[in-house]
């Protein structure tokens, strides 16, 4: 019989940026922008409170993504609590390409495990990662949200894998957050079923170079972040974002669409002439701009 801990448990989980240009559905980076969750097992019922991003828009019942993720984890841990109280303080913007759904899923499964006595023995980190990837459908955001840092991930058959890779301490990010969202479904719907072999080969080369550039050769980030597989196809859904990417790249800045967009991520590497302060001044009117360090922790108790 499952035993639940007494009192509230607090966790935090970072934003993530997937793809990073050429690494479509395979590369992900955790960013130091965190959602905070608090959960507690109570006598009965379900209470969900949300402040910050998504407040007033997301459901406050069993269909809430964090709740659904917690329920899935509780099933694997041996049983559901009689009642549950959940409070979400959201900072990661929704539908902007910064991994808000992965943050909800990873935060939810980790919070559920933390509410069970001996939960980490019943459901280890690898099992928790598989569950989160199953719930999300792909691992490129959930892997860095769980592990922190820069992660190469994918799936082989029905199994998911994730491998950490190092990040040069000179590397940080500036994110330009568009005022209007773009859904992942819309962005994916613009992608063709096939791409030319030459473009696929070029993308593979840039992806390999990007791993090396992030690990210790940041002077190659501009070349390494050139994408051939997905960004230009998505231009009709986010023309302003791609226009900003074009302008930044024309000035030698390693800029990409973050995830499915419309957020634009630009690397600040301590090498190029365009440093963080200069980049912060290049946000279009009405956009939010943030300078973010690379998060090395992933999901954690808060």
Residue 99 marked ligand-binding = yes
SS (H, E, C) 176-208: EECCCCCCHHHHHHCCCCCCCHHHHHHHHHHHH
For residues 283 and 291, the answer to whether their CB atoms sit within 8 Å is no
Residue 87 marked ligand-binding = no
Residue 96 marked ligand-binding = yes
CA distances (Å), origin 279, targets 78, 166, 235, 247, 261: 49, 24, 22, 12, 19
Residue 102 marked ligand-binding = yes
Residue 17 marked ligand-binding = no
3-state class (DSSP) for residue 146: helix
Let me know the angle formed at the C-alpha of 269 by 264 and 275, rounded to the nearest 5 degrees: 75
Residue 97 marked ligand-binding = yes
Residue 93 marked ligand-binding = yes
Residue 172 marked ligand-binding = no
DSSP code string of 54-71: TTTTS-SSTTSHHHHHHH
Q: Return the exposure string of 71-90: e unless at least 16 CB atoms fall within 10 Å of the residue's CB, then b.
A: bbbbebbeeebeebbbbbbb
Nearest to 20 by CA among 191, 167, 207, 193: 207
Collect all residues with Cβ–Cβ distance below 8 Å to 172 and sequence separation of at least 6: 267, 268, 269, 276, 291, 292, 293, 294
What is the rounded distance in angstroms from the CA atom of residue 162 to the CA atom of residue 265?
22
CA 162 to chain centre: 14
Residue 103 marked ligand-binding = yes
Where is the binding site for ATP, in residues?
93-103
Where is the binding site, in residues?
93-103
């Amino acid at each position: 019989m499952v035993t639940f801990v007494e009192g509230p448990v607090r966790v935090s989980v970072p934003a993530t940026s997937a793809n990073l240009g050429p690494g479509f559905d395979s590369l992900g980076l955790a960013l130091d922008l965190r959602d905070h969750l608090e959960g507690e097992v109570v006598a009965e019922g379900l209470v969900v409170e949300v402040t910050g991003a998504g407040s007033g828009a997301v459901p406050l019942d069993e269909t809430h993504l964090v709740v659904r993720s917690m329920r899935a984890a509780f099933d694997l841990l041996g049983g559901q609590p009689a009642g549950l109280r959940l409070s979400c303080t959201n900072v990661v913007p929704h539908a902007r390409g910064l991994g808000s759904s992965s943050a909800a899923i990873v935060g939810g499964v980790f919070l559920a495990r933390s509410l069970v006595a001996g939960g980490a023995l019943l459901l280890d980190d690898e099992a928790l990662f598989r569950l989160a990837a199953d719930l999300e459908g792909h691992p490129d955001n959930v892997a860095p949200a769980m592990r922190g840092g820069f992660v190469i991930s994918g799936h082989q058959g029905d199994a998911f894998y994730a491998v950490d890779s190092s990040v040069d301490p000179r590397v940080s990010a500036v994110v330009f957050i568009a005022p209007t969202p773009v859904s992942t479904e819309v962005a994916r719907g613009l992608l063709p079923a096939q791409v030319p072999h030459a473009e696929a080969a070029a993308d593979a080369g840039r992806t390999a170079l990007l791993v090396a550039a992030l690990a210790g050769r940041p002077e190659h980030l501009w070349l390494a972040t050139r994408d051939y597989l997905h960004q230009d196809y998505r231009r009709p859904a986010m023309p302003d974002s791609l226009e900003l990417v074009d302008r930044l790249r024309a000035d030698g800045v390693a800029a990409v669409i973050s995830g499915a967009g419309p957020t634009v991520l630009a690397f600040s590497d301590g090498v190029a002439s365009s440093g963080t302060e200069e980049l912060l001044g290049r946000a279009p009117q009405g956009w939010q701009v943030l300078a973010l360090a690379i998060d090395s922790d992933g999901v954690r108790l808060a």
